[in-house]
Every structure is written in structure tokens, then in C-alpha cells.
Chains A and B, each alone.
Chain A
Amino acid sequence: MAYDKFNVLESSAVPLPIENIDTDQIIPARFLKATERIGFGDNLFRDWRYNSKNLPKKDFVLNNNTYSGKILVGGKNFGSGSSREHAAWAIYDYGFRCVVSSFFADIFRNNCLNIGVLPVQVSAKFLENIFNEIYKNPDTIIKVDLEKQIIKIIGNQMFESFEINEYKKGNMLNGYDDIDYLMNIKNSIEEFAKKTPL
């Protein structure tokens, strides 16, 4: 499905310095029963956010007014585990447009790119820096420039470039989606199908 264009994002960020955050934590399986893509943001990090009585856990960052913004900064190996795109939907639906980490799981990264959330992979050192700056000043603004492929911590002026596949970048900048592209080459797909060995 088509999504908003992504060009430059300037926002404060929410820190979540935990490694190996898996998609079962991002959205637990029991919330995957919908047949439409609505309301997933409410259950983002459900079991870290609410206790068994459905009361907000005070020590979880999403329940802490000090931190807010459209950028989520997570620890290494973000999004491992299940292929559920619902995890990316929940992040988007909650209001994040960008996730920063020093390492992403493959399927999660693809899912994000497919729905218009930008995964930005930075060095471990830069990630530490972001966490430090946010903890020093929760209003720290992070600037993510997709066109230039640069992420910058406004304040201490540190920046780093990040990688993104050229084609995917074009899609995100323009809000294109892959299915439109493939629909346009449907004839060659059908021709190809006749020659496949299986």
C-alpha cells in the first residue's frame, strides 16, 4: 500500500537501550487477530508497557512523558524473531517514522521499508552517543536526512552516514510501492512463469 513520502525528519527520540528486541515484544501474538490494519499502536510493547492488570508500568519509557518523538532508538539486533509485519505497523501506528539501531533483523527491516518506516543502522559508537545525548537532554533533536543518507544529533553536531538500497530509497522518497512496479511488468512475469522448471 502506498504511504507518506519520507524526506527529512527532525524530531526528539525515545530511547530503548535493550538488545535483541524481538517482534513478540513489539507486538505480542495475542494481538495479531485483526483482519484490518488498525489500532496496533495501542498494543505496541504491550507487555513491557502494561502490567497484568492493564495498568501502565511506570518504569517503561513509553509511559514516561520525558521522552517523546517520531524516532525510536533501540539496542543492537532490533526486530529479530517472527516475520509479523504487525510489529512495523504497531511502530508506525504509535507515531514513529524512523527506528535507529546498530543492527536490524532482516525481515523486520524489509517490513519497515515496505510500510514507510525508515530503519537507520548506525555504528555501535554512534548509537551510544545518541543514548547519552538523549539521557543528558531528553529534548535532543535528531535529524534524519534520507536524501543525503545522514543522521545527525543536533546539539553536539555529531553525524554519521547510513546505508540504504538505492531503489528502496527512491521508493521512500516518492512514496512508491513495489507492487505498482511489479504490476507494470506483469506480462514478463507471466512469460517467465511458462519457462520455470517446477
Chain B
Amino acid sequence: MGNTLFDKVWDCHVVHRINNGPDVLFIDRHLVHEVTSPVAFLGLKNRRAKVLFPDKTFATADHNTPTKNQHLPVKDPLSANQLKALEENSKLHGISYWGLGHKKNGIVHVIGPEYGITQPGATIVCGDSHTSTHGAFGAIAFGIGTSEVEMVLSTQCIMQPKPKKMRININGKLNKGVTPKDVALFIISKLTTSGATGYFVEYSGNVFKEMSMEGRMTVCNLSIEMGARGGMIEPDKKTFDYLKNREYSPKGENWKKAMRYWLKLKSDKNAIFDKELDFDGNTIEPMITYGTNPGMGMSISNGIPKTINQNSEAKTYNKSLEYMNFNEGESMLGKKIDFVFLGSCTNGRIEDFRAFTEIVKGKKKSPNVTAWLVPGSHKVEEAIKEEGLLSILEEAGFELREPGCSACLAMNDDKIPAGKYAVSTSNRNFEGRQGPGSRTLLASPLVAAAAAITGHVTDPRTLY
């Protein structure tokens, strides 16, 4: 029996196997941010422990940070306090800290790859569920809780039972206007938000092969939304080209050595998966969500599905539609929207800004729409300016904010007001996720751009 890509990476990181218990897994890279780390550092202090491998630990500030006037002191005292705690903890333990104002600052899952911290065959954790993003490079990457953050800080290991393995194959040619975000929302709508719980997913097939690294990151990022521990894609030439010469990428002899390892990172022909699913890429359309979890997604031109005839499920379903103030069977096209959010670790990379710009170029933002365009990092921000996208966006009536998580989880000032509708390129449409009472429609940057121009849900294919 052959091994899967996941097996290969997992097995060579097992320090110790506990009988009838979890594996002790060695962690190559630990990413840290301000929200889930303070209590972990406090735990360390109480144990009189120190960070075991500071050079494998990277801290940044993103969840709480304002996206305007970052040069000024942070106004919210609680946020400021959390940011200060991370800065001090980093200094105390000798961890690199790319805080607010640092030129490498950005969303943790955007900067990891940008600086080559993310690498194929690595084990990567962070106290954030969207750590799955890094699986795009053929890494095993997953989110952990604060107790586990403390565990990794103090021992560089995590204790986890090995998950089951699932492979999702999608072949075919994607239609015009169908982006990696649509592919991911499509998969989640088929699997539901718990369909992959207990599994680690490998994405396979020409659709993923042909995707850019940015696109693969979007797909792997959303793995958690179907309940999976994480998702990964076999590394290939695109992966290696992306990483070549990045700051933390191996250089010279070390690069060659790393390549010898990386080239082995593929599932064997006779590898066994606990579950295997196939979808036809030709059938995927631009997607949008209509409910309060990411599994409640549909092709943009369909009607809102009718209730499934089961008591408890129907109750939850109706509660969700009630929150959104939508009805079964209604069309989503034409629904009025108030806000557009382009950004987050799902769609805050340069490719996403290119896609958005492609639609709005030469048009004008709808006066009824408030648009927040938030790059995932300073590097993305620079690229937007260098590629001339900024002037096109400004011409169309948009402005660019400074990097951070922003309206993805609304821990800073970027909150969607109660009752308002936002087309958002982020990853969660839970009740109140983007601000108390906010209503979120998840979609691709193209759909977001189309909505920003027309002021209502619009099929982007009608605009270009």
C-alpha cells in the first residue's frame, strides 16, 4: 500500500507515538498573532518555561489592527493592550515580531508564504483556523487552540491523533468568471460545513494544477469551512518558482537539499484514501452564499434552495434565512447590498486585486455602496501600486486601506452595521461575524466587484 502526500509529511515529523493516544508531532513553523497568544505566554510564565525554538516562531499583528492611520496610536485600549502584550512577549522570548507599522506586517497567512516561511513538507501551526492556507505549498498546516499554542511555544510539538485522509479530485475546464473562491464555495456547498470533519484533504486534478499559488491558497484556506483539519496540494514547479529567492527560502546547497525532499512529496499511485470524491470542474458557476454558514452557497443564478424536510434541520435552516431576511426560492441576483469587502487571508492577495480591478476598470462605484478594499499585507499593497491598479481603482471611486484582517472578523473598527448586507470575499458568513447583526454574502472578488459597481448582487459575467 502506498503513502499519501499527507502520510509522507506527517510520518517524518512524528517524534513519539503514544499507545492508544495521539502522535507527538514536531512543528517546523509556528505563526503567532495577538489574539490567541497572550494567555499562552501567560501559561509559559506560570510554568517558568521559555520558548524552545524562537527561530521557528514568527509573530505578527493583524486581527486587531486598524486599517486606517496605522501610524497613529491604536485607539481601542483593549486592542492596544493586546498588541503591546505580543510585542513584549516577542521581545522577551527573542521571537521575530512584525508588528503594526513594520514593513513586513500583514495577515499571518498572507505573509508566511510571501517571505518563504511557508515551505513544502513543513508542519505549520498557528492559533487560527485558516492556517490551512499554507497547505497550498504541500505543507501540513492547521489551526490550534491557545492551550496548544502554549504547547508549541514550550515544546515545539503538538499532540494530535493522525486524521483520516480524503482526496477531492476536480478535473475539467473552469468557466469564464469562475475563480478558485468559487471552486472552494462549490465544494463546501456539496460537503456542508461538517462534511470533512476528521479528515485532512488533498486537492487533486487539473483544476488545481492549473491554479496559481494564490488560487491554491484560497482553496486550501477554505478547507476548514467544510470541517477539515486542513487541505494540501502536491508541490510542483509553480510552488518552487514561487519560493525561489524569498527571504526565508533555503539558499544554495540548502535549496538543493530541500528540493530533494520536496520532489518526493506526492501521493503514491497506489496510495489509499479513507474517502475520495470527484467533481466536474465544467459544471461550476460563480458562487454566492445566502445563509449563515459557508456551506449555504449556490450558483449565483440559481434560486435559494427549499428547506430540507427534516425537523431539526429545517428549524436551523429557517433561523438562518430569517436572520438574512431571505426566503426560499428567491433569486439572489438583484438583491440590494450596502457594503463590499475585498480582503482577508482568503482573497486579500494581489491576484484578487487584479480580478477586482478587471471588473471595475472604466466604471464607477455605486454611490449606495461602501467599499472596503484591504490588502492582505504591505507587500500586496506595494504590488497594487506598482502594477498601476491603484490609479484604476481610484478612478472608479474606490480607495485602498492599510493591511489587516479588517471586516473579516470585525475586531477593529471595520464593522458592518446591523441589518446591512455585505458582499464579502472573506471566509465566514456566520451571524454577526462582520459586526453584530451584519449580513454577509460570501463570494469571489469578481462577484464583489460587480456588486460594488451595480449596488446589487450581479453576475460578473454580464459586466465584461
Contacts and interface: CB of A to CB of B under 8 A. Distances in A.
Q: Report whether over half of chain B's contact residues are helix, strand or loop; otherwise say mixed.
A: loop
B71 interface: no
Interface string B63-96: 1100000000000101101100100000000000
B20 interface: yes
Interface string A63-98: 000000000000111001111111010000000000
Interface stretch (A136-144, A145-153, A154-162, A188-196): A188-196
Interface in A26-82: 28-30, 32-37, 47, 52, 75-77, 80-82
B159 interface: yes
Given A24-B430, A103-B197, A182 B147 contact: no
Interface residues of B, number: 80
Interface string A171-198: 0000001110111011011101100111
B20 A85 contact: no
B15 A192 contact: yes
A25 interface: yes
Contact of A111 (B145, B157, B410): B145
Interface residues of A, number: 60
A193 B148 contact: no
Contact of B431 (A25, A111, A196): A25
A144 B199 CA distance: 28
A165 B21 contact: yes
A106 interface: yes
Interface in B142-195: 143-148, 150-151, 154-157, 159-161, 163, 193-194
B36 A85 contact: yes
A4 B437 CA distance: 37
B18 A167 contact: yes
A133 interface: no
B157 A189 contact: yes
A190 B52 CA distance: 9
B409 interface: yes
Contacts of B437: 47, 52
Contacts of B410: 29-30
A52 B419 CA distance: 12
Q: Which of A22, A33, A76, A189 has the most CB of B within 10 A?
A: A33
Given A24-B431, A75-B312, A82-B129, A111 B193 contact: no
Contacts of B63: 29, 32
A185 to B, nearest CB: 6
Contact of A33 (B78, B148, B436): B78
A84 B19 CA distance: 29
A188 B81 contact: no
Q: Which of A30, A76, A186 has the most CB of B within 10 A?
A: A30
A22 B21 contact: no
Interface string B25-55: 0101000000110110011001101001100
A84 B119 CA distance: 25
Given A80-B227, A81-B430, A105-B227, A18 B319 contact: yes
Interface stretch (B120-128, B362-370, B389-397): B120-128
A160 B320 CA distance: 31
Given A106-B229, A111-B145, A166 B21 contact: yes
Interface of B: 12-13, 15-16, 18-22, 24, 26, 28, 35-36, 38-39, 42-43, 46-47, 49, 52-53, 63-64, 76, 78-79, 81-82, 85, 119, 121-122, 127-129, 143-148, 150-151, 154-157, 159-161, 163, 193-194, 197-198, 227, 229, 257-258, 261, 293, 295, 312-313, 315-316, 319, 409-411, 418, 428, 430-433, 436-437
11 contacts: A1-B147, A20-B295, A24-B430, A83-B144, A83-B145, A85-B36, A86-B146, A106-B163, A106-B197, A111-B147, A114-B147
Given A29-B410, A33-B81, A105-B227, 8 more contacts: A20-B316, A24-B409, A24-B430, A33-B79, A80-B193, A80-B194, A165-B161, A177-B147
Interface of A: 1, 17-20, 22, 24-25, 28-30, 32-37, 47, 52, 75-77, 80-86, 88, 103-107, 110-111, 114-115, 128, 165-168, 177-179, 181-183, 185-186, 188-190, 192-193, 196-198
